[in-house]
Structure 1
Amino acid sequence: MTLTSPPASTLAPTLDCPCEGRHLVPAFTYQAPPHGETAFDLEGAPYERAYRSCALCGHWYGAHALDLSRLYDGSYVDATYGGPEGMAAKLRQIMALPPERSDNGGRVRWIEGQIGRAAGRRLLDVGAGLGVFPATMKARGWNVLAVETDSRTVTHLREAVGIDAFDQDLMLLTAEDLGGFVDLVSFNKVLEHVEAPLPLLSHAAGLLTEDGACYLELPDVAAAGEGPGREEFFIEHHHVFSPASLALLAERAGFSLAALERLREPSGKFTLRALLTPGAGA
């Protein structure tokens, strides 16, 4: 489905690009939630939203006037998992998947293929959610910390996963708060949920050791080839990335792109993953 005129939009997703959105063209539009999208409480507002794509770098930006300010408070846990008990059950279910069906298994193998095994290194996982990735990395010898904005999710991470978790905005955390610099900061399907990901990614650079790295995992615009019903374009995704837009964001945040892969995960998700190292490339 395509737009002839985008809806009035208060959402302002940005990659802080110098072109300032001058090359955006209409893409998908929605008047009803696509199948499988979480039924968030929009307080009676009409469901009208859209995506616009950049004709230069291929990045997609969400556009709508819906109030999503409370999307990640306690109601998110209830709407998505049915409460804390549902979170614990979903964690056990995913952890029990065989390797060939596990997105997380592929993620861990790829990261360790790039930077090696833990040997006591420190990981900060931002937006850890259920804790599948932190749980696996902890089991493989990493000293894992996590950041989440919902207090019930933080409690779940502490009790069900057994890691130290911060109920705090990443932008307010310092290396001192974390007990020192970390070797890896990971954003697994996180940056697409925030309107302005550049400040978060830039801040992460200041939390890393001298030879540390940042791992990104993001929805890929390649999903557009299968139409507007794909989960990559669900309401909570303000951005959908192309390889070019990911690389440009990394550079603006002060990183060099050390590795980039475009894949379709066992779950069917179209995904971009990248390893970034501090220091912008030439």
Structure 2
Amino acid sequence: MTQEPPQFDPACLTDINCPVTGAMDWEVVKSYTAPPDGETDFGITPYRRDLLRSPSTGHVLNHHHFDLSGLYSGDYWDRTYGGGRMAQTYDKIMALPPEQSDNRQRVAYVQSVWSTYGPRGGDRTVLDVGSGLAVFPSAMAQAGWTATALDPDPRSAQHAMEKAGVEGMVADFMTDTVSRRFALVTFNKVLEHVPDPVAMLRRARPILLPGGGVYVELPDGEGALAAVGPDREEFFVEHHCAFSALSYAMLARKAGFRVQRLDRVIEPSGKFTLRGYMMPEETPQ
């Protein structure tokens, strides 16, 4: 994709309104004229983006004029998973021992929060939004859940059914109607990929069963900047934003949820992550 580089004017920082926090007090963390090491080459030329941080909220934004609407098209799927790589990557992740697996530790965390906040003896159905490889719903199924993997690409849904052994649902969560309800809806490193994460999270409310909740995992931009710096995957171009503990809570509240638990972790893969469990302010009927 070819884009015109933005004519960035630091004086215009106060014109940038954050969809999550409403913050307008931005400072430039770093300006990029080429993809940093490790970032997928999406063919964006010329390449110019600015990483911004709000001191009042700790929230981080990627500011650019790229059109990323087609980023996860069939070409992306082919480049990432074609030639049998989806099955190979799935097998590799599922074979990792728990102490080396982000996924197994994620499942253990969800099991822990559900034992505390979930209804006793209730339904154990989970909808994983943007499931991709379906490693999480597969591991949840192994832990006794009835898991559904939702992804807009039919090939991912087919992989979920044939390889991961769970139900695959082909849908765009932002535009399609999910006609069933679930005890748990999960967003594993998904909300940072959309322009309006509040709107996406809000769509989980009407499909929750009474007493149900939402697990949300997001890149910890605050932690990554403090510990390492900006040249990290938490801030790659495909992420519209990265979060702080405060902006995580603001996201939940703006979407109509209350945070029951929030933890900051460094995963076995080295990712800086905020993971937490939230419930609707008013349980939908």
Which residue does 2:80 correspond to in 1? 80
Q: What SS is found at the alignment partner of 2:108?
A: helix
Matches of 2:58 and 2:136, distance apart in 1 = 29
Structure 2: gaps spanning 5 or more residues:
1-7
Matches of 2:126 and 2:267, distance apart in 1 = 23
Superposition map of 1:202-241 within 5 A: 202-221=202-221, 222-225=223-226, 226-241=228-243
| Alpha carbons 1:183, 1:212 under 8 Å: kept | yes
Which residue does 1:161 correspond to in 2? 164
Q: Amino acid of the residue matched to residue 105 of structure 1?
A: R
TM-superposed deviation, 1:151: 2.4
Matches of 1:33 and 1:172, distance apart in 2 = 31
Matches of 1:147 and 1:28, distance apart in 2 = 35
TM-superposed deviation, 1:278: 1.0
Matches of 1:193 and 1:24, distance apart in 2 = 20
Q: TM-score normalized by structure 2?
A: 0.87
Q: What SS is found at the alignment partner of 1:161?
A: coil
Q: What SS is found at the alignment partner of 1:93?
A: helix
Q: What SS is found at the alignment partner of 1:276?
A: strand
| Alpha carbons 1:122, 1:143 under 8 Å: kept | yes
Q: What SS is found at the alignment partner of 1:206?
A: helix
Q: TM-score normalized by structure 1?
A: 0.88
Matches of 1:72 and 1:251, distance apart in 2 = 28
* RMSD of aligned residue pairs (Cα, Å): 2.3
Q: What SS is found at the alignment partner of 1:224?
A: helix
| Alpha carbons 1:39, 1:79 under 8 Å: kept | no
Which residue does 1:63 correspond to in 2? 63
Matches of 1:138 and 1:119, distance apart in 2 = 16
Matches of 1:140 and 1:33, distance apart in 2 = 39
Matches of 1:119 and 1:84, distance apart in 2 = 41
Matches of 2:202 and 2:159, distance apart in 1 = 28
> CA-to-partner distance for each residue in 1:65-109, whole Å, 9 max, x for gaps?
12222111112222323x161011000000000111011111111
| Alpha carbons 1:202, 1:254 under 8 Å: kept | yes
Task: Identify if the C-alpha distance between structure 1 residues 147 and 87 changes in structure 2 by more than 3 Å, giving closer, same or farther.
Answer: same
Q: Amino acid of the residue matched to residue 105 of structure 2?
A: G
TM-superposed deviation, 1:33: 1.0
Q: What SS is found at the alignment partner of 2:132?
A: coil
